[in-house]
Structure 1
């Protein structure tokens, strides 16, 4: 048996999340079993548990991101993979059992080699945040010398996107919610931040770009950021790359503000990348990791038995950095 966390119905973390013993899974054909060290907690995980996605199985072990060591291979997988340090993607997407456990079985391709210079805690941050960031920057089609505005530059996705864009030679502007977050970014060489709670963002963008605007905007909230586009923050022929919206219904778009400037809007869902898109993203992230060009913002780390607190921290929006659950009791 293994220690795992699970829920059988949607609801508040303290009411539906349970921790106890579950059977250790066995690797099937073209699968690997991973002994998990860490599990990453993403906003999508807490939204799914709270009811954004209805429960489709009798029991759900949450979380799509994680890192650990392969300890068993199924038929069709090289036995030499046993002992590999790996990070995981889509571990609980369209599947009932995710990474909030001591072991997980999943298709071998969803376990990616974790370079020796990267901790398990960092590996548990990569699946959703880093892949989202990489695809967003790719869609932004940034060229060296161009400028991108990343909303929430100190967030999980935003911090990775800022680094990936900078690695491509782009000038990076970010919005942040506090001086603490601005200082965090400055210490890491990302020093052009806008305090969105205190400053008019579109005006500041125009001032910082000589009234030209940025070549691309990357953000997760269409419903608020669309206003920046229509206030002139996005330069002609600019691209707004969006991977979510706080408003789930209709979001008005001023057609007259977009067409004359040949602006474009690009949506994507990280869970549904094509094979080619995901391969490029994984290969790109692996190269950045091997070269030591990708830093990580590890936030609070909770023991698996404290998973309720981990979910509450993410839901409350009070954490700074990616929230991690320690699955191995290390």
Structure 2
């Protein structure tokens, strides 16, 4: 099969399209013939910093395709089913930038007949991260669904990014009032398309003042893309028993939090890495995200505030470059091209 591989850490130039054996599923695993793969920041960060497993690594955590083989103990009824795949390459060699991948059966989630493979490949890391960020505080429930966030206000810092977009879509599905911050009119359009109730251009507006207009008593949850830059703002707009969820790292930056000001509301400041989150939280995230898919409540593309940038398998290095350069929207790999 064709697969993108690398044997040593480095820039995108270490990626090669190789002819490698089709992997066989072991006990409890399935093999998926991939149609589309997703590219996330952790893909290029791992390529630059994490030694390949067994000397050869196929990158890519997320993807979508069809189950074509099952291992021992797996119900053969899943054969031929359309699925979305998450965390394929986490501590495993078989990522999704390939024609086939092998994952534990729980990491191949039924996609249904109506959702596109492009949506399936965009779910994994961004939507599971967003789910975790939206369910960490005492003022919010640990499950999402229609009505789960009724009466709550969520602030999404960076509402036009992949995780920001996912947070806006999931929070709106759960009936929250969503405030999104952005850095340009174009990104404001995308955040609004995703479903943000209010959009604030932080380069043109006072974020604290604008948020307080919507939520005079503060917000219940903050999904934070740049904690080092936004901590002072977050501290001023967090509400009683609210929580800040920090899911991205500004190149090793440190966060300063005004302790006394956060004691009053009993605020929480949480760190989020989806790969190592508690197993129960991950199960709930997968279930809730899939429920949103089945409800047709989330999507990809311009209409959903998430423009798609699609590359062929042979251009995976360019896809990595696009993500590393901060492409606005979702970068995908058409494995069949």
Do both proteins adopt the same fold according to a TM-score greater than 0.5, normalized to the shorter chain?
Answer: yes
Pairwise CA RMSD of aligned residues?
Answer: 1.7
Which residue number corresponds to residue 134 of structure 2? 137
Give the counterpart of 1:194 among 191, 200, 203. Answer: 200
Q: Please tell me whether residue 326 in structure 1 is matched to residue 330 in structure 2.
A: no
Which residue number corresponds to residue 120 of structure 2? 123
* Deviation for aligned residue 1:66: 0.6
Which residue number corresponds to residue 67 of structure 1? 64
Q: Please tell me whether residue 25 in structure 1 is matched to residue 18 in structure 2.
A: no
Judge conservation of contact 1:223–1:247 (CA < 8 Å) in 2: no
Judge conservation of contact 1:68–1:86 (CA < 8 Å) in 2: yes
Judge conservation of contact 1:137–1:161 (CA < 8 Å) in 2: yes
Q: Residues 234-253 of structure 1: matches in 2 within 5 Å?
A: 234-248=238-252, 250-253=254-257
Which residue number corresponds to residue 316 of structure 2? 307
Secondary structure of 1:25's aligned partner: coil
* Deviation for aligned residue 1:123: 0.3
CA distance in 2, matches of 1:60, 1:137: 32
Judge conservation of contact 2:168–2:194 (CA < 8 Å) in 1: no
The one-character-per-residue Cα deviations of 1:51-93 (angstroms, maximum 9, x if unpaired) are: 2x34443111101001110111111111221101010111000
The one-character-per-residue Cα deviations of 1:160-201 (angstroms, maximum 9, x if unpaired) are: 211221222211000112211212233454241111222232
CA distance in 2, matches of 1:10, 1:203: 45
Secondary structure of 1:165's aligned partner: helix
Give the counterpart of 1:166 among 158, 163, 172. Answer: 172
* Deviation for aligned residue 1:9: 1.2
TM-score, normalization: structure 2? 0.90
CA distance in 2, matches of 1:8, 1:223: 34
* Deviation for aligned residue 1:215: 2.1
Judge conservation of contact 1:122–1:298 (CA < 8 Å) in 2: no
The 3 A distance-change label for structure 1 pair 56 and 253 is farther
Secondary structure of 1:57's aligned partner: helix
* Deviation for aligned residue 1:259: 1.4
Which residue number corresponds to residue 147 of structure 1? 153
Runs of 4+ with deviation above 3 angstroms: 54-57, 140-143
Which structure 2 residue ranges, 5 or more long, are not aligned?
A: 141-148, 301-305
TM-score, normalization: structure 1? 0.92
The 3 A distance-change label for structure 1 pair 99 and 189 is closer
* Deviation for aligned residue 1:124: 0.4
Aligned residues: 323
The one-character-per-residue Cα deviations of 1:124-182 (angstroms, maximum 9, x if unpaired) are: 01110111111211224434222110011121111121122122221100011221121
